[in-house]
Amino acid sequence: MNDGEEHTPSALLRASDAERERVEARLQHHFAVGRLTLPELEERVAVAYEAQTRGQLDVLLADLPAEPEEPARPVDVVDSRLLVILLCCSPPAALVYWLLSRRAARRRGTPLCG
C-alpha cells in the first residue's frame, strides 16, 4: 500500500459490486417500509449500479434513516415444553438439551432461569 492510499478518504475509494448490492438491498428495504416510491427506488438503484465511488453510494442513502446492519438475534432460552417432552421420552436427551442450552447461554452472557 502506498502513502496515497493510506490517506484516501473513504468516500473517494472505488465501490465494489458487493457494496452496490448492499446499497440496493437497503434501498429495497426502505421501499418495502414505505420510505421510497417505486420510481425513486428504480432511479436510485440505477444510480447505484453506475456509481464508481463509495461517496456516490453514500449519497443515495443520505436522506434515509440508518438501519441496524444485522437484526438482533433472539435470546435463546430453554424451551420448557421441549424439555418436558424430552424428559418423558428420553431423559438422557433432556439432560443433553438442558446442558447445551445452559452452555450456549453462558457463552453469550444470557442468564437462564433454573
Cα dist from 10 to 30, 64, 105, whole Å: 24, 20, 38
Is the predicted pLDDT of residue 12 greater than 50, yes or no? Answer: yes
- Contact call for residues 64 and 23 (beta carbons, < 8 A): no
Q: What is the pLDDT of residues 22-41, one digit of tens each?
A: 999 999 999 999 999 999 99
Q: What is the pLDDT of residues 39-94, one digit of tens each?
A: 999 999 999 999 999 999 999 999 999 865 554 455 556 678 888 888 899 899 88
Is the predicted pLDDT of residue 96 greater than 90, yes or no? Answer: no
